[in-house]
Structures are given as C-alpha cells and as structure tokens.
Structure 1
Amino acid sequence: MKKLLNTWGQMSLVKRIIVGLVVGIILAITVPQQAKPIIIFGSLFVGALKAVAPILVFFLVMSAISQHRVGHQTNMKAIIVLYLLGTFVAGLVAVIVSFIFPVTLTLAMGAKEVTPPGGIIEVLKALLLNVVDNPVKALFNANYIGILSWALLLGFALKNAPDTTKTMISNFSDALTQIVRWVIDFAPLGIMGLVFDAIATNGIKAMLSYGHLLAVLIGCMVFIALVVNPIIVYVNIRQNPYPLVFKCLRESGITAFFTRSSAANIPVNMSLCESLGLDKDTYSVSIPLGATINMAGAAVTISVLTLAAVTTLGIKVDIPTAFILSLLSAVAACGASGVAGGSLLLIPLACSLFGIPNDIAMKVVGVGFIVGVLQDSCETALNSSTDALFTATAEFAKWRKEGKSIDIKNRV
C-alpha cells in the first residue's frame, strides 16, 4: 500500500486527474446507485475552490499592487487587448460557422423563473455597479469585479505603508497560495465525483436529440482553442504555440470543464501561471480579470444560439448585420459576469437585434439549458484556459521584444 501511495504521489497531477476521470466514468456506467456517495468529493472540491478564490484574489492583488516596484512594467494593456480580440474573433467565427452549417431548433418549453436583461445598457450598468459594490458583500458573493476594484484601491493606498504591514499582507497571500496547492492536490477525487455526477444524473441520451446544435457549438469552441488561439499566440511570440496551448488546456481546461466555474478555476490558473514562471504582479490581476471579461466561449454560445433562432424563424441576415452580431456578442459576453445565468440569459438581447419576440427568445434559452451540461462545460474550459494562455502570451511577447530567451518547451 505504501509503495502504491508513493507511486501515486510521484505521478503528475494531470495523469492523476485522468485516472480519476476514467474511474468516475466507469463507476457511473457500471454501478451508478452503489457509487452515488462519491458525488460528495466533487461538491467538496468545487466548494473548496470557490471558497478560497475570492480571498486569494483579494490578498494577491492587494499585495502585488502595494509592493509594486517603480519602473517595473506589467503587461496588463497587452493582456486586455488579447482578451477583447479573442472574444470578438470567437463571436465572428461562430457567426461564420452558423452560416456554413445552419442550425434549426425545435422550440418547445421556454426557460422559467429567469429574467433576461432588457438591453446592453442594463448589462453594462450591472457590470459597473459591481465595481462599487460593498467590499464585504463582494467577497461574500464572489463578485470579482468588486473584489478587484477594492484590492487595487487598497493596494495603491498601502504603497506608503510600513514594510511590516506589506510583509504581513504578503504572508497572508503566500499562506492562501499554499492552501490552494493543498486543494488542487485533491483534484483527482474531485474530478471523479464531478464526472460521475454528470453522467449518472444527466446521462448521454438526453443530449443526442440536439446533436447538430452541440456539434456546431462545441466545434466552434474547439476551433477557437486549437486554431484561432494558437495563431494569436504565434503572432505574438513567433514560436510553435502548441506546447503552451496544450499545457493550458491540460492543466486549466480539464478542471474548468468539470467544475463549470471560472471563479473556481482562478486558483488553478494562478498555480499554472506560477509554474510557467510568469510575473506575479501581472497574473495576480489578469487572471481574476480574465474570469470576468475574457469570454470567448460565451460569445460563441450567444452567436450560435441566436443565429439558430434566426434560421428556425426563416429570417434573412445580411453581412453587415452578422458583423454587428459578432460585436454585440463580444460586448455582451464581456458583461456576462454581471448577469445571473451568464451567457444564456444574454441570448434574448442578441435576438432583439433581429426583432425576435422575447417569448420566442426565452424558448431558445430553454434549449440552451437542455444542452447546458456540455455547452457550459466546454464554454468554461475555453474561457478559463484562455485566461492563462493570453497572460503567458503577453509575458513571452514582452520577453521577446527585450531580447530574452523564451524556451517554451522547457517551461511547459
């Protein structure tokens, strides 16, 4: 037993997660009733990540800003540009693919007990109100826009504080980072419980009737992850992008796929950036920011389901309107964190561009909830892994301009 535990401990985290994944699938297919108690592992894992993430972000950002060295340049501008570019291109790709492979829907039951935002102004207003949210409330509700704003303000205010105060904040930040490492060590058990719950509860047959829609949704997201993002990375670092792309998908995308929560995946991305040797002053801000505005997967979901409704109703769409939809999807996706229900509840907003009534749009949202198990998992995996990918890309691009060596293969 001791030898087995030693072997298990020496395996890489990704290999251990794959083992947990396989065991969860086997148990869900063979003995779903008997193995039901293992669901608790998934709930505990996600709960622990969600619990530590807000306070981790708060102390990391506050510590990084308060101890920021004068003259030390960060890459936030470049990262934000990559976030916005990636989200827009994702919406554009989804529009093009929807034209090539049009999807029609069977609109039955609409989504109940959910209220979509009235317009893009309402979405942006909710986002801005989150910036000035009560700090205690922001931490309690995991409002990362609010957490970021307060952490930045306190960080700047503490720049002239005594070194002992800064050291204490840094110690808290280091302690929370260690707690994150402990939680992530339990990822194999957590993933096992999550995948078991997904298969045992929802099954696979429920998704088959929406195979065409899922193929377009997931196909777009895979294309973004494996074609568009690598092109963006290559343009910036002028090296083979795939080792970095695959590392981000492997170490961030897998956990995000099963937790279905960008917030829960913030600690995972922080750990990934640390392992890549990135600047802590940069990634401590860019990762939580990416969890709120870097929404390529959400842009894909909004564009595909909106154009599916358009095709179903026989509405003709010209090229300028399709381009406007891409822009609207990107802007709406960036504001998705300010709306309860995320990307699906922004579909009626996009549908209004084509004059589609709200009651029909809500039926499209209902379809979105049906396929949500796979759609939301893939969307979160793309969104979260891209946060780490673009943060690393901006850092490596900076090194390239400064003439430093970028040995990506050794780093990944």
Structure 2
Amino acid sequence: MGNLMKKWNQLSLVTQIAIGLIIGIVLAIGIPETAKPITILGSLFVGALKSIAPVLVLFLVMSAIAQHKRGHQTNMKSIIVLYLIGTFLAGLVAVIASFLFPVSLTLASGAENLTPPGGVVEVIRSLLLNLVDNPVKALLNANYIGILSWAVLLGFALRTAPESTKTMLSNFSDAVSTIVQWVIKFAPLGIMGLVFDSIATNGLSSLLDYGKLLVVLIGCMVFVALVVNPIIVFIMIRQNPFPLVFKCLKESGITAFFTRSSAANIPVNMTLCEKLGLDKDSYSVSIPLGATINMAGAAVTISVLALAAVHTLDIQVDIGTAFILSILSAVCACGASGVAGGSLLLIPLACSLFGISNDTAMQVVGVGFIIGVLQDSFETAINSSTDVLFTAAAEFAQWRKEGKKIVIKK
C-alpha cells in the first residue's frame, strides 16, 4: 500500500485527475446505482473550494497591497484591457458563427419562475452595489466584487501599519494558501465524483435534440480558446503562445470544466500563477477579478442563444444590430456571476434588443438549462483558464520589454 501511494504521489496532478476522470466515467456507465455514494466526493471538493476561495482572496489581496513597495511594477491595466478585449471578441465570434450556421430551437419551458435582470443598467447597478456590500455578507455570499473592494481598501489602510502587523497578514495569507494546496490534492477524487454524478444523473441522451446548437456553442468556445486567445497572447509576448495556452487549459480548464464555477476555481488558478512564476501583487487581484468580469464563454452563450431565438422567430437582423449584440453580450457577460449557470439569466437582456418578449426569452433560458451539463462546463473552462492566460500574457509582455527570457514552467 505504501509503494502504491508513493507511485501515486509521483504522478502529476493532471495525470491523477485524468485517472479519476476515467474511473468516474467507467463507474457511471457500469454500476451507476452501486457507486452512487461517490457523488459526495464531488460535492465535498467543490464545497471546500468555494468555502476557502473568499477567505483566500481577502487575505491575499489585503496582504499584497499592504506590503506593496512604491515603484513596484504591476500589470493590472494591461490585464483588465485584455479581459475586456477577449470578452468582446468572443461575443463577436459567436455572432458571426450564428449567422454562418443559423440554429432554430424547439423552445423549452422550466425557467418560468426565474427572474432575469430588467436591463443593462440594472446589471451595472447590481455590480456597483456589490462593491459596497457589507464585508461579512460579501464573504458569506462569495461576492468577489465586494470582497475585492474591501480587501483593497483595507490593504491601502494597512500600508502604514507596523511591520509586525504586515507579517501577521502575510502569515495568514500563507496559511490559507497552504489549506488550498491541501484541498487541491483531493482534486482527483473530487473530479471522479463530479463526472460520475454528471453522467449518471443527466446522461447524454437528453442533449441529442440540441446537437446543432451545442456544436455551434462549443465550436465557438473552442475557436476562441485555440485561435482568438493565442493571437491575443502572441501580440503581447511575440513568441509561440500555445505552450502557455495549453498549460492554462490543462491545469485550470480541466478542473473548471467539472466544478462549473469560476469562483471555485480561483484557488486552482492562484496555484497555477505561482507555478508560472507570476507576480503575487498582480495575480492576487487579477484572478478573483477575472472570475467576475472575464467572461468570454458567457459572451458566447448569450450571443448564440439570443440569435437562436432570433432565427427561431424568423426575425431579420442587420449588421449594425449584430455588432451591437457583440457589445451588449460582453457587457452582460461581465455581470454574469461566477457560479454554474450564471450567464443564462442574462439571455433575456440580449433578446430584448430584438423585441423578443420575456416569456419567449425565458423559454430559451430553459433550453440553456437542458444543455447546461455541457454548455456550462465548456463555458467555465474557457472563462477560468483565460484568467490565468491573460494575467500571464500581461506579465510576460513586461518581461519581454525588460529583456527577460520567458520560460513556461512545467
């Protein structure tokens, strides 16, 4: 047993996750009823990540800002610009793809009791109110905009504090980071439970009726991940972007695919940034911020499903309106929460651009929930992995200017 554990620990985390993934699939297909208790492993893993992430963000950001040395270079402006450009281009890709491959829907019910936002102004208003949320409430509800705002304010307020106080903050930050590493070690078991639950509960038969819609949705996300994002990264670092792209997809995208929560994947992304040798002052802020506003996958979902409703109702759309949809989907995506299904309730906002009634739009949301087992998994994978990708691209671009060699650490 000792030798087996030693060999297991010698495997990389990605290999361990792949093994857990395969076991989960085999159990879900072979003995779904007998193996049903293992679903608790997935719930425990996601629950642990979601629980520790708000505390991790609070202490990391607060400690980083409190100990920030004047004149030390951070890349937050570049990162935010990359987030916004990436989200807009994803929405634009989805709009173009929806015109090239129009999809009509069999509208579904099941979302009637949900209440979507009333408009873009309401989405922005909600974001602003989250900024000034009660700090304890923000931690309890995993409101990362609120956590970030309070962590930044407290960090600035503590910059004049005694060194002993700053050391204590640093120690707390290190302690929480250590707990995160412990949780991530259980990722193979968590992924096994999550994939088993997904296949055993939902199956894949319910998705066949929406095959063309899924092909367009997932195709857009794959195109953004493997074409659009690499082009953006190449412009920034002026060298082959694919080692970095594939590393982010492999180490961040896989866990995000199964947890289906950008918020739960924050600890995973923090660990990946550390492995890449990135500046803690930058990634401790950019990663939780990205979990809220860097939503390329959400922009794709909003655009594709809104235009699917348009094609279903045979509404004529001109180029100008389609371009406005790209902008609107990017703005809406920034308001999508970092939890499973967060983008679906923003579809009615995009549908309103074409005069589609809220009742019809909510039927489209119902379709979104039906295909959510795949749609939301791919969406979260691209959203979360891109947080690390753009954070790294901005810092590597700075390294290039300073003449430093860019090495993607294994």
Q: Give the TM-score normalised by structure 1.
A: 0.98
1:117 aligned partner: 117
Alignment of 1:312-323 (within 5 A): 312-323=312-323
The Cα shift of 1:339 comes to 10
- Change in Cα spacing, 1:125 to 1:380, as seen in structure 2 (3 Å) is same
**Which region of structure 1 is more displaced relative to structure 2, 107-116 or 78-87?**
107-116
Note the C-alpha offset of 1:43.
0.5
What stretches of structure 2 of length at least 5 have no aligned partner? none
Q: Which amino acid aligns with 1:188?
A: P
Q: Give the match for residue 264 of structure 1.
A: 264
Aligned equivalents of 2:142, 2:398: Cα separation in 1? 32
Deviation (angstroms), 1:108: 3.3
1:278 pairs with 2:278: yes
In structure 1, the residue matched to 2:12 is 12
State the SS of the aligned residue for 1:210. Answer: helix
Tell me, yes or no, if structure 1 residue 394 matches structure 2 residue 389.
no
1:209 match: secondary structure: helix
The residue that corresponds to 2:154 in the other structure is: 154
SS of residue in 1 equivalent to 2:353: helix
User: What is aligned with 1:64?
Assistant: 64
Deviations 1:239-268 (A, max 9, x none): 111110010000000000000011100000
AA paired with 1:119?
Answer: G
Q: Which letter maps to 2:146?
A: G
Task: Provide the TM-score with structure 2 as the length reference.
Answer: 0.99
Q: Does structure 2 retain, via aligned residues, the 8 Å contact 1:24–1:192?
A: yes
Aligned to 1:75: 75
> Residues of 2 paired with 1:388 and 1:403: CA distance?
22
The number of residue pairs the alignment matches comes to: 410
For 1:177, the equivalent position in structure 2 comes to: 177
- Counterpart of 2:304 in structure 1 is 304
Does the residue aligned with 2:212 lie in a helix, a strand or coil?
helix
Q: What's the offset of the Cα at 1:73? A: 1.1
Q: CA deviation at 1:337?
A: 2.3
1:330-341 paired onto structure 2 within 5 Å: 330-337=330-337
For residues 366 and 124 of structure 2, the distance between their equivalents in structure 1, rounded to whole angstroms, comes to 24
Query: 4+ runs of 1 displaced by more than 4 Å?
Result: 338-341
C-alpha distance after superposition, 1:366-410 (max 9, x if no partner): 1011101110111000000000000000000000011111123xx
Q: Residue by residue, what CA displacement relative to the aligned partner does 1:116-144 show, whole Å, maximum 9, x if unpaired?
A: 11100001000100000000000000000
Equivalent positions of 1:80-99 (< 5 A) are 80-99=80-99
The one-character-per-residue Cα deviations of 1:264-302 (angstroms, maximum 9, x if unpaired) are 000000000000000000000000000000000000000
1:311-337: per-residue Cα shift (whole Å, max 9, x none)? 000011111100000000000100112
Distance, in Å, in 2 between the alignment partners of 1:166 and 1:385 is 31
Match for 2:42: what amino acid? G
CA contact (8 A) 1:302 1:347 kept: yes
What is residue 203 of structure 1 aligned with on the other side? 203
**Structure 1, unpaired ranges of 5+:** none
Q: 1:371 and 2:371 equivalent?
A: yes
> Taking structure 1 as reference, are residues 338 and 123 closer, same or farther at Cα in structure 2, changes over 3 Å only?
farther
Give the AA of the match of 1:103: V
Match of 1:329 in 2: 329
Residue 340 of structure 1: CA displacement? 9.9
The 5 Å alignment of 1:32-71 reads: 32-71=32-71
Structure 2 SS opposite 1:356: coil
CA shift in 2, pair 1:192/1:338, >3 Å: closer
Superposed CA deviations along residues 33-54 of structure 1, whole A, max 9, x for unmatched, are: 0000110110110010001000
DSSP 3-state at the match of 1:354: coil
Q: Secondary structure of 1:166's partner?
A: helix
Root mean square deviation of aligned Cα = 1.1
Q: How far 1:338 sits from its partner (Å)?
A: 8.9
Opposite residue 82 of structure 2, the aligned amino acid is: L
Cα distance in 2 for residues equivalent to 1:270 and 1:118:
34
Aligned-partner Cα distance in 2 for 1:341–1:269: 20
1:140-174, Cα deviation, whole Å (9 max, x unpaired): 00000000000000000000000000000000000
Q: Percent identity?
A: 78
Question: Counterpart in 2 of 1:220?
Answer: 220
Distance in structure 2 (CA, Å) of the matches to 1:73 and 1:111: 47
Structure 2 SS opposite 1:159:
helix
Match of 2:24 in 1: 24
